[in-house]
Amino acid sequence: MKALFKDAAAPGLSYTDRPEPAAGPADVKIRVLRTGICGTDLHIESWDAWAAGAVNAPLVTGHEFCGEVVAVGNAVHDVRVGDLVSGEGHVVCGICRNCRAGRRHLCIRTSSIGVNRDGAFAEYVVLPESNVWVHHAPVDPDLGAIFDPFGNAVHTALTFPLVGEDVLITGAGPIGLMAAAVARHVGARFVVITDISPYRLELARKMGVDRALDVSRESVADAQRALGMVEGFDVALEMSGHASALPDVIANLNHGGRIAMLGLPSAPIEVDWSRVVTHMITIQGVYGRQMFETWYAMSAMQRSGLDVSAVITHRFAARDWADAFATARGGNCGKVVIDWTQV
């Protein structure tokens, strides 16, 4: 099969032939139709400090995908050949305290596809049945390929109640954009998103935010005044990881405000902890998706009319993977999808 292969602990990827994986007794073999490019994939391709410390090279990369089941092991019970599926990329141990308590997203021995084990940038991928999500309602494969980051957005957005609340989202990358759509869908009053990319801010406007704020030109306080807000934001979703974002969020929250923090900082952040204490602010770290409550939520919202397909802005054939990566790295895009039926 054709695959994107990290053949050594060094920059670059190879578009090459690799052996097709075989399904074990409890596994599902999937013919990959589409994959999404994630920031993680860009880190792995460039082989930065994070990748050098986290990735088990050599391996096939990629973890966002949608495909068709072509084979199942003899211990598989519910997944059928022909099912259209996406995959939960965090493979958990099942026996640590969190797994046994039903908190599998907190497993201390998580192995991630495309990072610690062979992934989905290939014509075929194998996953345990327990990690396979079957799309029982019709789903475009392009959209199915981004259920993983869509799940990040849903997990973050639904950390705190949003109905009637004023929501601030810092970072208009694909996950921030999808979180904005989720906040609107579930009944937030005002949804404000910040970034410095004109392209992504315009995309946010098309996806229905009340205010898309270029923080290099305007302040969050300016947005509050323009919307007639007098008490600060109720809920913030920090998606950027930028060092200035969290302090700015804290400065613009109402007393009792809540922050769900998905963005990974690349450096230490200086926080006004006295304000966190006196304003009784809650900060909740968020990672991945709740298995599988988040998947049920996003499928239900998709079936009830939530449409995040506008976040997909570019599509490439698998053989043009280098152009796809360059587009994703350039930033003037939403989500970039690769078509593995065109190898």
* The CATH number fitting domain 153-285, selected from 3.30.465.10, 3.40.50.300, 3.40.50.720, 1.20.120.1200: 3.40.50.720
- Residue 242 known to be catalytic: no
Q: Domain extents for the chain?
A: 2-146+308-339, 153-285
Which entry of 16, 35, 43, 341 is annotated as an active-site residue? 43
Task: Write the pLDDT tens digit of every residue in 201-226.
Answer: 999 999 999 999 999 999 999 999 99
Domain 2-146+308-339, what architecture? Alpha-Beta Complex (3.90)
Q: In this structure, are residues 288 and 155 in contact, taking their beta carbons and an 8 Å threshold?
A: yes
pLDDT for residue 64 is more than 90 = yes
* Average model confidence (pLDDT) across the chain: 96
- pLDDT at residue number 54: 92
- pLDDT at residue number 269: 94
Which entry of 40, 61, 170, 294 is annotated as an active-site residue? 40
Confirm whether pTM is higher than 0.85. Answer: yes
Task: Identify which of 4, 5, 336, 335 has the alpha carbon closest to the alpha carbon of residue 178.
Answer: 335
Task: Write the pLDDT tens digit of every residue in 265-296.
Answer: 878 999 999 999 999 999 999 999 999 999 99
pLDDT for residue 87 is more than 90 = yes
Task: Write the pLDDT tens digit of every residue in 95-114.
Answer: 999 999 999 999 999 999 99
Q: In this structure, are residues 275 and 250 in contact, taking their beta carbons and an 8 Å threshold?
A: yes
Residue 115, phi then psi, degrees to nearest 5: -125, -55
- pLDDT at residue number 267: 85
Q: Does an H or E element contain 276, and which?
A: helix 273-278
| 91 alpha carbon, distance to own chain's centre | 16
- Residue 156 known to be catalytic: no
Task: Write the pLDDT tens digit of every residue in 150-205.
Answer: 999 999 999 999 999 999 999 999 999 999 999 999 999 999 999 999 999 999 99
- pLDDT at residue number 266: 79
User: What average pLDDT does this structure show over 24-34?
Assistant: 98
User: What average pLDDT does this structure show over 64-76?
Assistant: 98
Query: Where do we find the tokens 């392009």?
Result: 142
Task: Write the pLDDT tens digit of every residue in 127-138.
Answer: 999 999 999 989
User: What average pLDDT does this structure show over 39-45?
Assistant: 95
| 272 alpha carbon, distance to own chain's centre | 29
